[in-house]
Amino acid sequence: MLINNWYVAAAASEVRRDKPLKVRMLACDFVLFRDDKDKAVCLSDVCCHRGASLGRGEMNGCNVVCPYHGWEFAGDGRCTLIPAMGSEVTIPKRVRVDSYPTQEKYGWVWVFLGDLPESQGPRIPDLFPEYDDPVGWHRIPYGFEAKTNWMRFEENSLDTAHTQFVHRQFGAKRTPKLENFPLEESEWGARVTRRKPAPKPDQKSGEMAKMLSEERLNTSVALEFSLVGLCHRIQPTFKEGMTQINFTARTPVDRKLSRAIGWQARNYLKEPQFDAERMAGIQLAVVEDLSVVEDLKPPITPAKLSDEFLTETDSMEMAFRKRCFKWAAQGYEIDLDEYERRSQTEMLVIPSPARREDPKNWVHKTVPLKPASKESRD
C-alpha cells in the first residue's frame, strides 16, 4: 500500500457536522467530520492520550470529542481541551493528532494520505467530466467491498480479456480475440481503446435487450486509469449514440480487503425508472468478478512482472503495475510486515504534511516504509 496519494474516504453525503465518521484506509483508522465552513476534515482516529477511537465519540461544535476522557481535537489536529486538567491549562503542542488534506470531487471526499507538501503532491485526475452534465447523462451510485488485494482488485477492471469468460451478460466466449489499439500513456496513468466481439442479443435482458435486439459485430470499450486515487473509467459504446461510463475509485482497507465507490452514467434510458435494472446488472458483474478475483494466487500481486506470463492484452495491467512500482521505489510503500509486528505495542499512523514542518512534536510514530530502491521489477 502506498502513501502520498489521494484516496476516496467516503461519499460526501456521509461526512457530517453533527456526527464523526470512522473510516479505515491503508490499514489505519481515520475520523471524518465537517468544520464550521462545511469543509471536510480528516484526522487520525486514535486519541494520543490512551488510544481511544475518536470516531466513536461525538462532536462539540467543530471539535471531535474523545469518548474515553473527553479530550477535544480541532480540525487541524490540535487538542483544545483536557477536561480533567481544567480549561486554564496550557496544552503542549505535542498533544495533537495528524490532520490530512481533503478535497471534494464527484460527490466524494478525497483524502491525501502522506506527508508531501501540496506543491509536490499529485492532483486528483479529471477523469469524469460527465458528472457535471446531469442533462446529457443520468448517474447512479454504487459501492462494494472485496476480500482481495487492492492491486489485484484494480487490475481486474483494466482487464478487457476476462469479460468474455467471466460475464455472461456481455461476454462472447465463441470469439474471445480482442482488437488492440496503441496504449496512450501519461505520468500517472494510461488509456486504451479495444474492440471486442459483441454478445448475442439473447444474452441481454430487460430494456437493454430491446435496444440491442439487432445482431452486432463489436463493442468498443475505452479504458483509462490513474494511479492518483486508484481510479478508472470504463466506457463501452454499444452502438452509435448509445454509451455508458463506469467511473470507480478503489481504496485499500488493508492488505487483503479493498473498497470500491463509483458512478455509472448513461446517455440512454435516462429515466430513473430504469435504475433498478441497471443496478442489477452492476451487482451481477461484481458477483461474477469477485468469484474469480477473491481466489487469485498469490493473493498479493507479484513483486515483478516476470513472475506471471503477461501478454500484449495485459498492457493496461502492466502499465498500472509499473506506476505502482515506481511510486513504491521512491520510498512510499508501507512495510506491512513490520507494521503488523510493531502495531501490537505501538500506535503507528500515516504521516501528515505537518510532520515535514515539525517532525518532533508528536506522540504517535509513523508507519514503517520500505526503503527507496532503484531495483528493476521487470
- pLDDT for the residue 70: 97
Claim to verify: residue 271 and residue 149 sit in the same structural domain:
yes
For residue 272, whether the previous peptide bond is cis, meaning omega lies within 30 degrees of 0, is: no
Count of structural domains, the chain: 2
The residue among 228, 258, 21 whose CA lies nearest residue 110 is: 228
Confidence tier at 377 by pLDDT (50, 70, 90): confident
The answer for residues whose C-beta is within 8 angstroms of residue 187's C-beta and 6 or more apart is: none
- Residue tagged 448517474 (cell numbers): 139
Phi-psi region of 248 (alpha: psi -120 to 50; beta: other; left: phi over 0): beta
Do 79 and 169 lie in one domain? The reply is: no
| pLDDT average, residue stretch 271-299 | 92
- The pTM assigned to this predicted structure is 0.92
| Rg (alpha carbons) of the chain, rounded to whole number | 23
**Side chain identity, residue 2:** L
Beta-bridged to residue 43, according to DSSP, are: 31, 99
Can you give the pLDDT at residue 211? 63
Asked which of 56, 83, 113 is the last residue of a domain, the reply is: 113
**What residues contact 343, with CB distance under 8 A and at least 6 apart?**
none
**Strands 365-366 and 348-349, how do they pair?**
parallel
Q: Looking at the domain assignment, is residue 333 inside a domain?
A: no
pLDDT tens-place string over residues 167-225:
777 655 566 666 667 899 999 999 998 876 666 655 555 666 666 656 555 778 899 99
Position 213 scores a pLDDT of: 56
What local confidence, expressed as pLDDT, does residue 167 receive?
Answer: 78
Is residue 66 located within the same domain as residue 92?
yes
Contact between 232 and 158 under an 8 Å Cβ cutoff? The reply is: yes
In this prediction, what percent of the chain has a pLDDT beyond 70? 90
Instruction: Flag whether 340 is in a domain.
Output: no
Q: Do 105 and 253 reside in the same domain of the chain?
A: no
pLDDT in tens, 39-91: 999 999 999 999 999 999 999 999 999 999 999 999 999 999 999 999 899 99
Does 164 share its domain with 240?
yes
Identify the residue whose cell numbers are 473527553. 70
Q: Is residue 317 part of a domain?
A: yes
Same domain for 243 and 214: yes
CATH of the domain at 247: 3.90.380.10
Task: Please report the pLDDT score of residue 173 as a whole number.
Answer: 59
Q: Binning pLDDT at 50, 70 and 90, where does residue 238 land?
A: confident
9-24 confidence digits (pLDDT tens)? 999 999 999 999 999 9
Question: Which is it for strands 138-146 and 184-185: parallel, antiparallel or unpaired?
Answer: unpaired
For residue 365, tell me if it sits in a domain.
Answer: no
Note the pLDDT of residue 209.
Answer: 60
Q: Would residue 64 count as lying in a domain? A: yes
Does 219 lie in the same domain as 193? yes
Domain assignment of residue 319, given as a range: 129-323
Q: Is residue 350 part of a domain?
A: no
Query: pLDDT tens, 312-354?
Result: 889 999 999 999 999 999 999 999 999 999 999 999 999 999 9
Residue 75: predicted pLDDT: 97
Q: What does the alpha-carbon distance between residue 209 and residue 274 come to, in Å, rounded to a whole number?
A: 13
pLDDT digits (tens, 9 = 90+) for 138-164: 999 999 999 999 999 999 999 888 887
Q: How confident is the model at residue 241 (pLDDT cuts 50, 70, 90)?
A: confident
Residues 6+ apart with CB under 8 A from 128: 106, 233, 245, 247, 263, 265
CATH at residue 68: 2.102.10.10
Q: How many CB atoms lie within 10 A of CB 309?
A: 7
Q: Of the residues 113, 138, 171, which one is the last residue of a structural domain?
A: 113
**Shared-domain flag, residues 208 and 272:** yes
Same domain, 34 and 104: yes
Q: The C-alpha cell of 229 is what?
A: 486515487
Residue 205 has what pLDDT? 58
The 8-class DSSP code of residue 327 comes to: H
* Same domain, yes or no: 105 and 137: no
Based on the domain organization, do 75 and 186 belong to the same domain? Answer: no
Q: Which of 113, 148, 167 is the last residue of a domain?
A: 113
Clarify whether residues 192 and 269 are in a common domain. yes
The answer to whether residue 371 sits within a structural domain is: no
In a domain, 70, yes or no: yes
- Banded model confidence at residue 260, pLDDT cuts 50, 70, 90: very high
